[in-house]
Structure 1
Amino acid sequence: MRLAVNPTRMELLKLRKRLVVARRGHKLLKDKLDGLMKEFMRIAREYKTLRLAVDNELPSVLKLFVLAEITSSRLITENALESTRQDLDVVLHARRLMGVVVPRLEITFGEVAGSYSLIHTSPELDRAISALREFLPKLLHMAETEETVHRLSREVEKTRRRVNALEHTLIPRMVETIKYINTKLDEMERSNTSRLMKIKAQRLAREMSSRLS
């Protein structure tokens, strides 16, 4: 399907310039799409590894808290945790990856408020708290990686749509329209040449007629 333009030399020049820009833009977008796909696949593999590690580690952490309750009691364990509260700050930062804004989560542990009796609590509680402290940053890293995968995926789809629109719609329409204008201009040129030749022939005929008379 051609573009709706008049078949003039001015429009032909404009279209040729637009076609150059469109092809350049298509190449840039195609390069961007290739880069995005590579980065997306890399982050997706990283997320898969992190997810597997989190899924494997979480039951072990929970098991330590269960053991702490079994070896002492739920009440003692809950009181111990209540008496040793610790602030946890999670700060959301932003960074750019292939032009896409993606999150970066930073976790900070505050000071431990209070303490609990080591006599009445189970050693498993210490191990459980230590395991949870090591586990939380991994969980947050997995969460930020998952969101990064989603954002890169959306950018890949958006860029792919733009590449396809240029490659399969706009550029072919421009090429077809340029061919159409060239054909029309050639027809007009042949028509003008034929008309001029007729005028010239008529003029020569009149001149010859006037000379003979």
Structure 2
Amino acid sequence: MPNIANATRMELTRLKNQLATTRKGHRLLKDKQDEMMRQFLSMIENYKVLRQLVESKWLKALDTYDYAKAYHYEAELKEKFLVPATSLELKYSKSTVMTVAVPEIQVSQKVDPKITYSFHGTNPVLDEVVVTLASNLNDLIALAAMDKRIRILIREIEKTKRRVNAIEHILIPEIIDDIKVVRMKINEAELSNTIRIMKSKDLILKKLTKND
């Protein structure tokens, strides 16, 4: 609520300018929210496709691993996979989605899996497990990065939505109410001033008539 002492034309102009600026900021935030939602929905579609691909390869590798148990004890299989089949160097960077920083992760070199267990006494089906998992590695890393980007974008969309709602339902109505109060006080002051002038005019006229 504005101070009654500040109920002036200058204060009314200030509030009107503040309202115009606030509405402009609200439109910009709303546009940002809409664009982030559009990119989010597009990202979700790509995420679903990539996730299905990763899961299908992962399940295939698990099925093959389970099949290998028919030829090897589980403890023996675990021992054969103690040494990693490959190593990776990842390149980390950041990009922006509507001024929001999101991670980018890339594999620096081609994945070239190596068989680290002895071929002697080992069923060839294990090789298929290694190849399947290796072919899934790049997509798995891309999926992890995409998942992180989506989570960051969701938080930013929620934060922007709260700001948009606060401006639309709290700040703008408060400024409009302040403008109404200031305008009412100005009208009251002008009416009071008009009445005072009219009374002064009547007194002057009465004095002039009496003197005549």
* TM-score bucket of the superposed structures, by smaller chain: 0.7 to 0.9
Q: Which residue of 1 aligns with 2:202?
A: 201
Q: Is the contact made by 1:83 and 1:114 (CA closer than 8 Å) also made in structure 2?
A: no
Q: Which residue of 2 aligns with 1:160?
A: 161
Deviations 1:25-64 (A, max 9, x none): 0100111111111111122222222223322221211233
**Pairwise CA RMSD of aligned residues?**
2.6
Give the secondary-structure state (helix, strand or coil) at the position aligned to 1:95: strand
Query: How far did 1:155 drift?
Result: 0.7
Query: How far did 1:119 drift?
Result: 5.3
Between the aligned partners of 2:48 and 2:73, the Cα distance in structure 1 is 37
Give the direction of change, closer, same or farther, for the CA distance of 1:134–1:111 in structure 2 (3 Å limit): closer
Q: Is the contact made by 2:91 and 2:106 (CA closer than 8 Å) also made in structure 1?
A: yes
The answer as to 2:30 corresponding to 1:30 is yes
Give the direction of change, closer, same or farther, for the CA distance of 1:177–1:100 in structure 2 (3 Å limit): same
Q: Which residue of 1 aligns with 2:123?
A: 122
TM-score by length of 1: 0.84
Q: Is the contact made by 1:76 and 1:120 (CA closer than 8 Å) also made in structure 2?
A: no
Q: How many residues align?
A: 209
Q: Is the contact made by 1:76 and 1:121 (CA closer than 8 Å) also made in structure 2?
A: no
Q: Which residue of 2 aligns with 1:7?
A: 7
Q: Which residue of 2 aligns with 1:93?
A: 93
Q: Is the contact made by 2:115 and 2:127 (CA closer than 8 Å) also made in structure 1?
A: no
Q: Is the contact made by 1:83 and 1:113 (CA closer than 8 Å) also made in structure 2?
A: no
Between the aligned partners of 1:204 and 1:83, the Cα distance in structure 2 is 112
Query: How far did 1:120 drift?
Result: 4.3
Identity of aligned residues (%): 33
Residue 126 of structure 2 aligns with an amino acid whose one-letter code is L
Q: Which residue of 2 aligns with 1:16?
A: 16
Query: How far did 1:163 drift?
Result: 0.7
Between the aligned partners of 2:83 and 2:50, the Cα distance in structure 1 is 32
Which residues of structure 1 form unaligned runs of 5+? none
Q: How does 1:1-213 map to 2 (within 5 A)?
A: 3-5=1-3, 6-68=6-68, 70-71=70-71, 81=81, 85-108=85-108, 118=119, 120-210=121-211, 212=212
Q: Is the contact made by 2:113 and 2:134 (CA closer than 8 Å) also made in structure 1?
A: no
TM-score by length of 2: 0.84
Between the aligned partners of 2:113 and 2:26, the Cα distance in structure 1 is 57
Query: How far did 1:158 drift?
Result: 0.6
Q: Is the contact made by 2:85 and 2:115 (CA closer than 8 Å) also made in structure 1?
A: yes
Which residues of structure 2 form unaligned runs of 5+? none
